[in-house]
Amino acid sequence: MHVVATAGHVDHGKSTLVRALTGMEPDRLDEERRRGLTIELGYAWTALPSGERLAFVDVPGHERFLGTMLAGVGPVPAVMVVVAADEGWMPQSEEHLVALEALGVRHCLLVVTRSDLADPAPVVAQALARLDTAGLGEVEAVAVSGRTGQGLPELRQALDRLVTGLPRPDPAAAVRLWIDRAFSVTGSGTVITGTLPAGTVSVGDELLLAGEPVRVRGLESLKEPRDTVTGVARVAVNLRGHDVPGRGHALVTPGGWTYTDLVDVRVAHVGGPRREAAGLPRRLTVHVGSAAVAAEARPLGGRVVRLRLARPVPLHLGDVLLLRDPGRARSEARVLAGASVLDVRPPALGRRGAARRRAAQLESARLESALLEPAAPGTAYALRLHRLLRAADLRAMGVEPDTPGTSGEWYADPGHWKDLGRRLVEAVRHYAAGHPLDPAMPIEAARHELGLPDRRLVATLVRPPLTLAGGRIAAGPGGLPEPVARAVERLRRDLAARPFHAPDAGRLAELGLGPRELAAAERAGSLLRVGEGVALLPGADARAAELLSRLPQPFTVSQARHALGTTRRVVVPLLEHLDRAGLTERVDEVHRRCR
């Protein structure tokens, strides 16, 4: 299926044309039919000569209903611009075109109606020239008469060519179904309708509406029950678990979008005099999809603006917004500009000059990432702004990671990651200088020092000359201060001949090994402490277990003392250490045996 919206001045025959093409009445309200004036969005559909199904969203042309027109056009990929041959280009023709330009619509068909009342050629030339200046390029034009049917076969062929050239939507994309109509059906509950531009919705899916979970109870597309609908499509969704929402809310994939009420955007030049961001009024209405949300604008510098929205809306990087001045007189241009979303999670602005620096950062990131990602903002761009992001954060911003993460689920900007590695080396060395007897930096202290959100990031950053052991980071192996290292070496010489004859407190003090020094040597793996003030060489416990295994089993403390050639002061804590290590076990109050 394909979906096309209408656009054009009031009473130029948009609804008449849809009626002639589809045989359906797009005006749903009695008041519309009585007055001959479209007030609300209308829907109709037909089959094209190729067999493709085409749905129309018919919009009001009157200036009073610009907001309704924008709600209909916002989610739709292509537009049929309608101009009457007997009146030509009119004010609402211009306002609608400016809106299409601001929304970034690039697929258009020009239809000149009422060709039975006037020569359509001058109007075709006039309208094509204006469409060209709006950046729509080569637009096909067809002259028709909805009253006589003249030109309708050619129009059907032109519509076929239009939809054939539309980009193919991704059926696996995150769903964002903007609601253009919502109502309650007795016995069924809430029903919403909208244009699904991409993605897939199926019966039973759990989606989010205004941030709250809802379940899809049933689906229809063009009045036909469906189990699954894939964009682009007109779709009606029967929901379980929600009251009737208003137009402008969206049904979205959980985790697929960022709900935000604060965005940084870049204002685009749209029609009329060139407008800098500083010239925007402070209070605006922001249109996206079918939503119209009040907002406050704060220029940051150049074309970059921060918008604070009256309510959160689901957005992606690169989304296009339309900025409108709701207080401007209808005789003036109310569509001010289009704006592309640069950041959906902007930081707070603090000190003087922060706004200007933020604008420069966004422009720099945009220009640099365009060299790598010309099509749309991608991973490199998002990481330039946020430095560290989870894969889930990237997806919620509309960026699908295409490479493995830097550390598990985390992605890092390469330049920032390199700087973090350098800072970690400096932090560990600074910590060692301040803690000579405990030089290895706890990983949690390093995380705090670097301002990182996850300890795993710190572990991934550890590279030579750093080492990680026991949850602590050292600058190289060992890491003992020189005086302690010399004292440990003298102790090694003492224990060389009698490995289980641990020196007493006096000898340890003589060597310069107090409690803090012994603890540092133990952390560095240079000594084995089996009890308070009892220090042996690393591996002494395994050697002791080997010697004790040669004794008749079970054995007593006294037998163990003689076998190891040591004192009771040493053998008792050593045997308790062997018990904890699982090398020996108690048989009774007196005896042990080797395992």
Distances (CA, A) of 279 to 102, 308, 325: 17, 17, 12
- CATH tag, 176-252: 2.40.30.10
pLDDT in tens, 413-424: 999 999 999 999
Q: What is the pLDDT of residue 559?
A: 94
Preceding omega of 404 cis (within 30 degrees of 0): no
Does position 502 have pLDDT exceeding 50, yes or no? yes
Structural domain boundaries in the chain: 2-165, 176-252, 258-375, 414-474, 482-594
Average pLDDT over residues 326-345: 77
Q: Which long-range contacts (C-beta less than 8 Å, at least 24 apart) are formed by 21-28? A: 21/46, 21/56, 21/152, 21/155, 21/156, 21/159, 22/46, 22/56, 26/56, 26/58, 27/58
Does position 274 have pLDDT exceeding 50, yes or no? no
Does position 272 have pLDDT exceeding 70, yes or no? no
Topology at the third CATH level for domain 2-165: Rossmann fold (3.40.50)
User: What rounded mean pLDDT belongs to the chain?
Assistant: 87
pLDDT in tens, 441-463: 999 999 999 999 999 999 999 98
- Determine the 3-state secondary structure of 190 from DSSP: strand
Does position 233 have pLDDT exceeding 50, yes or no? yes
Q: What is the pLDDT of residue 500?
A: 94
Do domains 2-165 and 258-375 share one topology? The answer is no
Residues of the chain with pLDDT > 90, as a percent, come to 54
pTM as predicted: 0.79
319 burial level (CB within 10 Å; 0-12, 13-18, 19+): buried
CATH class of 482-594: mainly alpha
What the block records as the tokens of 581 is: 């290590």
Average pLDDT over residues 174-198: 90
Q: Where are the beta strands (DSSP E) in 394-526?
A: 410-412, 441-442, 466-469, 472-475
pLDDT in tens, 536-589: 998 899 899 999 999 999 999 999 999 999 999 999 999 999 999 899 999 999
More confident position, 2 or 485: 2
Neighbours of 566 (CB within 10 A): 20
Q: Is 209 within 8 Å of 241 (Cβ atoms)?
A: no
Contacts of 186 (CB under 8 A, 6+ apart): none
232 burial level (CB within 10 Å; 0-12, 13-18, 19+): buried
Kindly state the DSSP code that residue 555 receives in the 8-state scheme: B
Residue 38 — very low, low, confident or very high, per pLDDT cuts 50/70/90?
low
Neighbours of 478 (CB within 10 A): 16
Indicate the length of the chain as a whole number: 595
**How does strand 78-84 pair with strand 2-8?**
parallel
Q: Which long-range contacts (C-beta less than 8 Å, at least 24 apart) are formed by 129-135? A: 130/89, 130/93, 130/94, 130/97, 131/81, 131/97, 134/97, 134/98, 134/100, 134/101, 134/271, 135/101, 135/106
| Range with the largest mean pLDDT of 101-115, 253-267, 335-349, 392-406 | 253-267
Q: What is the pLDDT of residue 273?
A: 45
- CATH tag, 258-375: 2.40.30.10
Q: What is the pLDDT of residue 102?
A: 83
Q: What is the pLDDT of residue 331?
A: 47
